[in-house]
Amino acid sequence: MKRLLASVFTALLVVTMTLAAVFLLTKASLVVAKMTNPLMRAVAVIAELVLGVVLLLGTVYLAVRLAVRIFGDAPPPQPD
């Protein structure tokens, strides 16, 4: 039962984080598209790419990390 609840929570967390990242990147893209200064726009595009990579890779890392912790079969601890 604990594993089922953890997997449902993980799925909801990953979906929420992915949607939040997509909405944030969409808003950032709209702001960057409205910039008139070419130099600032170029810097903003690079910053947007870095932000997108960090957000989406962070989401994937968290999903994989939690899935391994939930479904990974760890050996039982050895008594000392």
Query: pLDDT tens per residue, the chain (80 residues)?
Result: 888 898 899 999 999 999 999 999 999 999 999 999 999 999 999 999 999 999 999 999 999 998 888 888 877 677 76
The predicted pLDDT at position 24 comes to 92
The predicted pLDDT at position 75 comes to 72
Q: Does residue 54 fall inside a structural domain? A: yes
The predicted pLDDT at position 33 comes to 92
Domain that holds residue 42: 35-70
Q: Does residue 43 fall inside a structural domain? A: yes
What's the N-to-C CA distance of the chain in angstroms? Answer: 30
Total number of domains constituting the chain: 1
Q: Does residue 16 fall inside a structural domain? A: no
Q: Does residue 64 fall inside a structural domain? A: yes
The predicted pLDDT at position 71 comes to 86
Q: Does residue 17 fall inside a structural domain? A: no
